[in-house]
């Protein structure tokens, strides 16, 4: 009857079906995120196992000098102020295998030197304790060597060296040397009035972190050198200030895969939209079944499994190219032989080009993290404009 309201057109019904398929695919997307977290945990377990047999990340504490002063109530300890403090750290790195994972470990030669302020005044035959500390003592490679005043270096089996001190000098010089092992990171705590920290090593992709960035740094193809100058006032507001270097791998494949999965729904939506427009705008009406949408969506989601698994053995960029080529190739073949029945090579080429551009777009977003929002917004605007133009002649209320 003419007075009755016309029902929903076939085009709109198909749109709702496609939308429903997209919502169903949110379930495996959640599973993908869980798989990445599980593999990340597996890698963390490998790192923890290396820590057990090697050593943990190291933090080099500032040395202390304590005077043991006899009194009627016993021994009174007076700690002298660390004045000028220089820490020189030379790091040699290597890769340790644990299962399928490689973990960067290091051995560091540490030299601490400087002087303490003699606030006590005239020191006569008092026992002085020169001590230092590190985060994980298990990492010591050799016995530390101590030098106090003008004495020669003395090897000691402890992190504390004691000797009788006789001086009235205002400054008490010292030196400490030792070798220590660690994993992933090494930090130095500035504890003096004036602090100079120098860390150099053979890692080509260092990350300078902690509470202070180096004033000077030089990174070459196979080495780096960094220097910090930190006055006491700059560190006074921090509980345990530190400066240091991380030796983590430059590209964490699990972190990149996690970011990639966040774009999975967007990729599915854009691809399904391309097929939906093909359905409603093509002169040859060839409907695509909802199960075919699901199979193509499943093929696209397998991309992330391929990316994770391949990147555990090869560099992330190589893994990304292989996974993308396999996915685009599969979708292109399915489109040509199943969706279009070999009758529309232009659409097959078009959908292949669209998907290839999408994966190039995703890789750019992953690499250019700082500009990902800007680039993503511009590209999405362009996509919406193309969709609006492509559907300009579609009569949405018509079943034709």
| Residue 399 domain-assigned (yes or no) | no
Looking at residue 189, its pLDDT comes to 96
Indicate whether 150 and 296 sit together in one domain: no
| Residues 99/46, Cβ–Cβ less than 8 Å | yes
| Residue 395 domain-assigned (yes or no) | no
| Residues 209/153, Cβ–Cβ less than 8 Å | no
| Residues 195/85, Cβ–Cβ less than 8 Å | yes
Out of 223, 246, 269, a domain closes at 246
Indicate whether 140 and 106 sit together in one domain: yes
Indicate whether 214 and 268 sit together in one domain: no
Q: How many residues does the chain have?
A: 400
Indicate whether 203 and 269 sit together in one domain: no
| Residue 1 domain-assigned (yes or no) | no
Indicate whether 101 and 141 sit together in one domain: yes
Out of 220, 246, 272, a domain closes at 246
State how far Cα 198 lies from the chain centre. Answer: 24
| Residue 100 domain-assigned (yes or no) | yes
Out of 218, 246, 274, a domain closes at 246
Helix (H, G, I), strand (E, B) or coil at 372: helix
Indicate whether 234 and 257 sit together in one domain: no
pLDDT less than 50: residues of the chain = 1-5
Q: Is 337 exposed, middle or buried (0-12, 13-18, 19+ CB in 10 A)?
A: exposed
Give the number of other CB atoms < 10 A from CB of residue 25: 20
Q: Which domain holds residue 115?
A: 55-246
Looking at residue 270, its pLDDT comes to 85
Looking at residue 398, its pLDDT comes to 62
| Residues 84/194, Cβ–Cβ less than 8 Å | yes
| Residue 2 domain-assigned (yes or no) | no
Indicate whether 104 and 214 sit together in one domain: yes
Indicate whether 160 and 220 sit together in one domain: yes
Cα–Cα distance measured from residue 133 to residue 144, given in angstroms and rounded to the nearest whole number: 11
Helix (H, G, I), strand (E, B) or coil at 337: helix
| Residue 25 domain-assigned (yes or no) | yes
Looking at residue 9, its pLDDT comes to 74
Closest to 35 in 3D by CA, of 305, 272, 253: 305
For residue 149, the domain's CATH number is 2.60.40
Hunting for tokens 């010591």 — which residue is that?
Answer: 140
Structural domains counted in the chain: 2
Looking at residue 59, its pLDDT comes to 96
Please name the residue ranges forming H helices in the chain.
10-24, 26-53, 232-235, 253-261, 264-281, 290-311, 316-334, 345-367, 372-390
| Residue 116 domain-assigned (yes or no) | yes
């Amino acid at each position: 009857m003419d007075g009755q309201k016309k029902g929903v057109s076939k085009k709109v019904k198909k749109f709702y079906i496609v939308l429903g398929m997209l919502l169903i695919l949110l379930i495996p997307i959640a599973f993908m995120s869980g798989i990445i977290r599980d593999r990340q945990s597996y890698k963390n377990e490998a790192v923890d196992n290396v820590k057990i047999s090697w050593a943990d990340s190291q933090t080099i504490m500032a040395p202390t000098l304590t005077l043991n002063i006899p009194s009627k109530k016993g021994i009174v300890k007076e700690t002298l102020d660390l004045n000028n403090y220089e820490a020189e750290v030379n790091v040699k790195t290597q890769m340790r295998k644990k299962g399928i994972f490689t973990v960067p470990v290091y051995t560091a030669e540490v030299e601490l030197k400087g002087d303490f302020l003699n606030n006590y005044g005239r020191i006569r035959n008092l026992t002085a304790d020169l001590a230092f500390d590190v985060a994980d003592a298990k990492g010591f490679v050799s016995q530390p060597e101590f030098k106090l005043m003008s004495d020669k270096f003395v090897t000691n089996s402890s992190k504390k060296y004691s000797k009788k001190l006789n001086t009235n000098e205002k400054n008490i010089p010292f030196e400490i040397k030792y070798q220590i092992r660690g994993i992933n990171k090494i930090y130095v705590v500035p504890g003096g009035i004036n602090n100079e920290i120098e860390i150099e090593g053979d890692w080509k992709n260092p990350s300078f972190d902690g509470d202070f960035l180096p004033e000077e740094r030089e990174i070459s193809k196979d080495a780096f050198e960094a220097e910090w100058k930190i006055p006491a006032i700059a560190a006074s507001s921090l509980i345990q200030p530190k400066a240091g270097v991380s030796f983590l791998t430059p590209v964490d494949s699990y972190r990149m895969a996690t970011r990639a999965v966040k774009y999975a729904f967007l990729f599915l939506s854009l691809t399904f939209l391309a097929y939906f427009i093909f359905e409603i705008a093509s002169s040859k009406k060839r409907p695509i079944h909802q199960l075919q949408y699901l199979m193509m969506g499943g093929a696209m989601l397998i991309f992330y499994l391929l990316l994770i698994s391949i990147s555990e053995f090869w560099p992330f960029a190589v893994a990304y190219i292989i996974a993308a080529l396999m996915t685009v190739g599969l979708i292109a073949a399915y489109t040509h032989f199943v969706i279009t029945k070999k009758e529309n090579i232009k659409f097959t080429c078009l959908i292949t080009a669209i998907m290839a551009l999408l994966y190039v777009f995703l890789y750019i977003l992953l690499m250019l993290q700082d500009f990902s929002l800007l680039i993503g917004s511009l590209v999405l605007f362009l996509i919406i404009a193309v969709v609006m133009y492509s559907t300009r002649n579609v009569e949405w209320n018509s079943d034709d």
